[in-house]
Amino acid sequence: MIVMMTELPGADAALAEGMRQAGVLDALQAARGFRGHWSGAASSGYKVTELWDSREHCQAFFDRNIVPNFPPGIEPPHLEFFELNLEIRPAP
């Protein structure tokens, strides 16, 4: 599995709301290889972290669904990937 992280400088939760209204978040839930999404506004912009089966699955979804729905004049962000080495969950 891989983790994807990105940051959108100057963006806020309104960008995520726009993606929701465009149906992107519904498509994300059904995307091949998708495992989870965590995001939120930070002092530097909007940060996104996702878990995917592969970089290829994530990149394909991004290119097909995210890029076409970005607001005009805003460049899609650079995606950073790394292999998941360790996952720790709360004890039952």
Structure tokens at 68: 């076409």
Binned at pLDDT 50, 70 and 90, residue 72 comes out as confident
**Residue bearing tokens 């940060």:** 47
- Residue ranges per domain, the chain? 2-83
- The predicted pLDDT at position 11 comes to 84
- CB–CB of 70/25 below 8 Å? no
- The predicted pLDDT at position 26 comes to 93
47-66 pLDDT, tens per residue?
999 999 999 999 999 999 99
Q: Which CATH architecture has domain 2-83?
A: 2-Layer Sandwich (3.30)
Binned at pLDDT 50, 70 and 90, residue 74 comes out as confident
* Separation CA 31–CA 59 (nearest Å): 11
8-62 pLDDT, tens per residue?
888 888 888 888 899 999 999 999 999 999 999 999 889 999 999 999 999 999 9
Residues 66-78 have a mean pLDDT of 85
Q: 58 Cβ partners below 8 Å, 6+ apart?
A: 2, 4, 33, 50, 52, 79, 81
